[in-house]
Every structure is written in structure tokens, then in C-alpha cells.
């Protein structure tokens, strides 16, 4: 497509500026939705209302494990998908002249943790010093609203994309990605994808991301009264023995020879995290059972299949440790079974995003090889569709007092609007 007409460009930028107040209000409404795993309905409804306000007809896309299980990108689910259908909407131009585009984002958020130590309640958005605080404000509800407001800015400028634009609001980016997979497979393939995921304290352009596996290890010991504890087997202590083997594995995976060149300069990119623990029955009883949930990162060049085998080997070796004599050790996989991904920095959509961000905002996006993962992997790995994954600066993602910079939020909206107009072309609304 030809470069944007200067008048069109100015009209779009003026529209984004005029929409700043509306954008902040829309973000506040979405942050108020406590959309943790299994509770995404309110956020999905809010996104459906946003699409209706654009003049689009939202529809639901269910996540059906039986239909996805044979796909290499599928991850074993944690809970039922009933009542949690993804929401999509499609803009169809009068005459298709340009290239099609997906604007995708996830509505799910991680748990807020200890709500009482937040400066303000996690689901009551608060604006302080140019930042909006609230769970999900950065990851990634600001991006969800940027997608909507970028399209709204074109409309305010009297324009609309001259190509198909798919909006996809999905669930479970934080634990499986199955919502994104379901939507990708349910809709026609587009020419490019934009996913406005945040950067960690910077306006980041994702250049690579690790893969992730979630695994769960349950240790059953031998309970006795604490007075006879030497005769029992402490399941919690046994679980700790297993965890130490994974920390040794983590150190090995972070050796220089095991790090892909895309992560050179990143300190400790492969992380093993023990995120949950359940166990024990009584302070004066040797505990019967302990269950630990762990997240294992996968470096580019490795695969989920290979790391799954590593996990199985590590658990089997640990079960044979003398300190675990008399225990039963069970391993299961639920949640992420995700391969790592490289994003094509030389692709046209990425170059276009970089250019528009720089020209509209007077600064550059920073390359970000991520030690976490996004839904972008589905399009890159399984559709060969190029993805521009970038977004605003967010702080304390998954932590306490999560926030997003509002000026950075608007910068993201400007960039998406200009990129959409150039990539898709425009026609009068």
C-alpha cells in the first residue's frame, strides 16, 4: 500500500488525541472487571460492548478441547470452558483493496495476590502521576482498549480500513493460550497480526519469547504423630528435595552455551518458578501429601516436547532419592505446553509499527526478548503469519500495584491506528 497521505495521517492523530479521555474511561471500565481464570465473563461482555460501539457485530467463539487437542499448540486445560467463550468481531470494507489485519488481545488477568498491600484496591482503577493502577491495567487491558480506540480514531477521521480487520478478545493467555488458538482456527487467516502486549517498564517490541510448561508434582509420604516423626516420611520436605533438582536444571539451562543468540545480554532468561504449594493437614502431624505447581521456561532452539521429557526424567530421578524412600510421587501436566518463538523483526508489519511509533511519538520501541510468552506464538509458529507484538510501558506486571503509563497507552493507540490505515488502506466511512 502507498504511504499514508499527510492529511489522513494528521486527521488520525488528531482523532486519537480527541479520544484520550474516552480511552481512559474505557480502560477504567475494563480494569474494573475482575477477570481472573474462570471469571472472565464481565471483561468479555465489556469488550463485546466496545465492538458494538464501533458498529461491529460481536460473536462468541467457544474453546472446545476436543477440537483443539490434536493441534501442536494446544495446552491441557485447567478448568472447564463452559460460559467463557471468546469474543470476536470482524470489519468488512465496502471494497477490499488492502491487506487484512488481526487486532488481538487477552482479557484474563493473574490473581491480585495480597489485595490489602496494594496502595489502592486492585480492581478500582486509580490514576496517579500519569499512570493507571489496577490489576490488568498493563497486562494487557490497555492494549485491548488501544485496539478499539485505534479503529474508533479512523472512524472519527471519517475513514475505515479498506480490508478485513478481525478483533479477537481471548481468554487464558496467562495459563494455556487455548482461547487464542480457538479464535485463530475459527477465523480466516489474515495478512498480519498486531498484539499490543506491554513492555516491562519500557515500550517494548517483542523480538523473541521463551516457551513454557506447567507441571504439577504430588508427593504422598507416611503420616505419623510428630512425636514419632523419624518413623514417618514428610511429604513437604520430600517436595523440597524435588524442587532442588529443578533449580539445578535451571542453572544448567542458563549456561551461556544453552542460550540462543536472540537472548544474548538477557540475564537469566530461563526461569523455573514454584508458583503454588498445597500440603499438610496439621502442625503436629507429619504431612501426608504435598503438591507443588511449577513453571519451566524453554529457550529458543529447545522444544516443549524435549523439556517435558526433561521434567519427567528429573521427577523420576528425584523419586529414587534415598530421602524420598517410602513416598509415592505423581507428575501431571496441565496449563502451558508452549514452544518458544522468534518474531520476524524484518517483516513489513514490524517495520511499519516501528516507523509509525517513532514518527508519531518521537522515540523508539526497545527490542524486547521476553522471558515470558504471548499469544503471538500461535500465528508465527502455526500460521506463518507475521506478528507485531509491542505495547505500552507497564510496571509490576503480575505483582503488587500494577500500572500502565497513560501517555504510553495513547502512544500505542496512535501507532496501531496509523499502522492499520497504511497496512489496510482506507476508504470513507
Tell me the pLDDT of the chain averaged across its residues. 96
**Residue 293 · residue 238 · CB < 8 Å:** no
Listed residue (164, 159, 160, 181) closest to 172, CA to CA: 181
Binning pLDDT at 50, 70 and 90, where does residue 389 land?
A: very high
Mean pLDDT calculated for residue range 96-123: 97
Q: Which cell numbers in the block locate residue 122?
A: 486492585
Within 8 A by CB and 6+ apart from 257, the residues are none
Q: What is the DSSP string of 116-130?
A: GGSSS-TTS-EEETT
140 preceded by a cis bond (ω within 30 of 0):
yes
pLDDT digits (tens, 9 = 90+) for 243-276: 999 999 999 999 999 999 999 999 999 999 999 9
pLDDT digits (tens, 9 = 90+) for 310-326: 999 999 999 999 988 88
Instruction: Enumerate the CATH 3.40.630.10 domain ranges in the chain, comma separated.
Output: 6-209+340-428
The C-alpha atoms of residue 423 and residue 313 are separated, in whole angstroms, by 48
CATH level 2 (architecture), domain 211-338: 2-Layer Sandwich (3.30)
The burial of 355, by beta-carbon neighbours within 10 Å (0-12 exposed, 13-18 middle, 19 or more buried), is given as: middle
Mean pLDDT calculated for residue range 136-143: 98
Answer yes or no: is pLDDT of 230 > 90. no
The C-alpha atoms of residue 151 and residue 413 are separated, in whole angstroms, by 9
Count CA within 13 A, CB hemisphere, residue 71.
23
Q: Which cell numbers in the block locate residue 287?
A: 504431612
For residue 389, give the 3-state DSSP assignment.
strand
The C-alpha atoms of residue 345 and residue 389 are separated, in whole angstroms, by 10
Answer yes or no: is pLDDT of 1 > 60. no
Q: What percent of the chain stands above pLDDT 90?
A: 95
Question: Parallel, antiparallel, or unpaired for β 165-170 and 101-106?
Answer: parallel
pLDDT digits (tens, 9 = 90+) for 350-380: 999 999 999 999 999 999 999 999 999 999 9
Answer yes or no: is pLDDT of 233 > 90. no
The C-alpha atoms of residue 103 and residue 108 are separated, in whole angstroms, by 16
pLDDT digits (tens, 9 = 90+) for 331-343: 999 999 999 999 9
Question: What CATH code is assigned to 6-209+340-428?
Answer: 3.40.630.10
How many other C-beta atoms can be found within 10 angstroms of the C-beta atom of residue 136?
A: 32
Confidence at residue 4, expressed as pLDDT on a 0 to 100 scale? 92
DSSP lists the bridge partners of residue 370 as 209
**Residue 385 · residue 183 · CB < 8 Å:** no
Confidence at residue 237, expressed as pLDDT on a 0 to 100 scale? 92
Q: Which cell numbers in the block locate residue 183?
A: 479464535
The C-alpha atoms of residue 249 and residue 151 are separated, in whole angstroms, by 46
Q: Give ∠ CA 196-197-202 in degrees, rounded to 5.
A: 105
Confidence at residue 231, expressed as pLDDT on a 0 to 100 scale? 78
**Residue 323 · residue 232 · CB < 8 Å:** no
pLDDT digits (tens, 9 = 90+) for 395-404: 999 999 999 9
Answer yes or no: is pLDDT of 10 > 60. yes
For residue 190, give the 3-state DSSP assignment.
coil
CA-based torsion, 71, 75, 76, 81: positive or negative: negative
Strand positions, DSSP E, 38-119: 59-61, 86-91, 101-106
Confidence at residue 116, expressed as pLDDT on a 0 to 100 scale? 96
For the chain, the distance separating the N- and C-terminal CA atoms, rounded to the nearest angstrom, is 19
Question: Parallel, antiparallel, or unpaired for β 101-106 and 211-220?
Answer: unpaired
Confidence at residue 379, expressed as pLDDT on a 0 to 100 scale? 98
Query: In 20-165, which residue ranges form alpha helices assigned H by DSSP?
Result: 20-31, 41-53, 65-68, 142-156
Mean pLDDT calculated for residue range 106-132: 97
Confidence at residue 2, expressed as pLDDT on a 0 to 100 scale? 66
How many other C-beta atoms can be found within 10 angstroms of the C-beta atom of residue 285?
A: 15
Q: What are phi and psi of 328, to 5 degrees?
A: -115, 135
Confidence at residue 257, expressed as pLDDT on a 0 to 100 scale? 96
* Length of the chain (residues): 429
Binning pLDDT at 50, 70 and 90, where does residue 48 land?
A: very high
pLDDT digits (tens, 9 = 90+) for 174-210: 999 999 999 999 999 999 999 999 999 999 999 999 9
The C-alpha atoms of residue 378 and residue 35 are separated, in whole angstroms, by 22
- H/E element holding 319? helix 304-319
Q: What percent of the chain stands above pLDDT 70?
A: 100
Q: Which cell numbers in the block locate residue 390?
A: 509491542
The C-alpha atoms of residue 387 and residue 233 are separated, in whole angstroms, by 51
Answer yes or no: is pLDDT of 125 > 70. yes
The C-alpha atoms of residue 91 and residue 167 are separated, in whole angstroms, by 8
Amino acid at each position: 500500500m502507498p504511504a499514508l497521505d499527510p492529511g489522513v495521517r494528521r486527521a488520525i492523530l488528531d482523532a486519537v488525541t480527541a479520544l484520550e479521555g474516552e480511552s481512559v474511561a474505557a480502560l477504567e471500565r475494563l480494569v474494573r472487571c475482575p477477570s481472573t481464570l474462570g471469571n472472565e465473563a464481565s471483561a468479555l461482555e465489556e469488550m463485546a460492548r466496545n465492538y458494538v460501539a464501533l458498529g461491529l457485530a460481536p460473536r462468541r467463539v467457544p474453546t472446545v478441547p476436543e477440537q483443539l487437542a490434536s493441534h501442536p499448540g494446544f495446552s491441557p486445560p485447567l478448568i472447564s470452558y463452559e460460559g467463557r467463550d471468546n469474543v470476536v468481531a470482524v470489519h468488512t470494507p465496502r471494497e477490499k483493496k488492502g491487506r487484512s489485519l488481526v487486532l488481538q488481545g487477552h482479557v484474563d488477568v493473574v490473581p491480585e495476590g495480597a489485595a490489602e498491600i496494594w496502595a489502592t484496591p486492585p480492581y478500582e482503577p486509580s490514576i496517579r502521576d500519569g499512570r493507571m493502577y489496577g490489576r490488568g491495567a498493563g497486562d494487557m487491558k490497555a492494549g485491548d482498549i488501544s485496539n478499539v480506540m485505534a479503529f474508533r480514531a479512523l472512524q472519527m477521521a471519517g475513514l475505515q480500513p479498506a480490508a478485513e480487520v478481525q478483533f479477537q478478545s481471548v481468554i487464558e493467555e496467562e495459563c494455556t493460550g487455548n482461547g487464542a488458538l480457538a479464535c485463530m482456527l475459527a477465523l480466516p487467516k489474515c495478512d498480519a497480526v498486531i498484539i499490543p502486549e506491554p513492555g516491562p517498564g519500557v515500550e517494548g517490541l517483542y523480538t523473541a519469547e521463551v516457551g513454557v510448561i506447567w507441571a504439577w508434582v504430588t508427593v504422598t509420604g507416611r503420616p505419623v504423630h510428630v512425636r514419632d516423626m523419624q518413623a514417618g516420611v514428610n511429604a513437604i520436605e520430600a517436595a523440597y528435595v524435588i524442587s532442588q533438582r529443578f533449580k539445578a536444571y535451571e542453572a544448567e539451562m542458563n549456561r551461556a552455551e544453552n542460550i540462543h543468540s536472540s537472548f544474548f545480554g538477557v540475564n537469566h532468561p530461563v526461569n523455573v518458578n514454584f508458583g503454588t504449594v498445597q500440603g499438610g493437614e496439621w502442625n503436629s502431624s507429619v504431612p501426608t501429601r504435598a503438591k507443588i505447581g511449577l513453571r519451566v521456561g524453554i529457550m529458543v532452539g529447545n522444544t516443549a516436547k524435549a523439556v517435558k521429557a526433561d521434567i519427567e526424567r528429573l521427577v523420576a530421578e528425584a523419586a529414587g532419592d534415598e530421602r524420598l524412600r517410602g513416598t509415592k510421587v505423581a507428575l501431571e501436566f496441565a496449563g502451558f505446553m508452549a514452544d518458544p518463538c522468534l518474531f520476524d523483526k524484518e517483516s513489513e508489519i514490524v517495520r511499519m509499527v516501528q516507523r509509525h511509533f517513532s514518527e508519531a511519538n518521537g522515540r523508539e520501541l526497545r527490542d524486547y526478548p521476553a522471558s515470558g510468552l504471548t499469544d503471538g506464538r500461535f500465528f508465527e509458529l502455526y500460521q506463518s503469519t507475521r506478528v507485531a507484538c509491542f505495547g505500552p510501558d507497564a510496571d509490576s506486571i503480575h505483582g503488587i500495584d500494577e500500572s500502565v503509563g497513560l501517555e504510553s497507552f495513547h502512544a500505542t493507540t496512535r501507532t496501531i491506528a496509523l499502522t492499520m490505515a497504511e497496512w489496510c488502506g482506507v476508504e470513507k466511512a
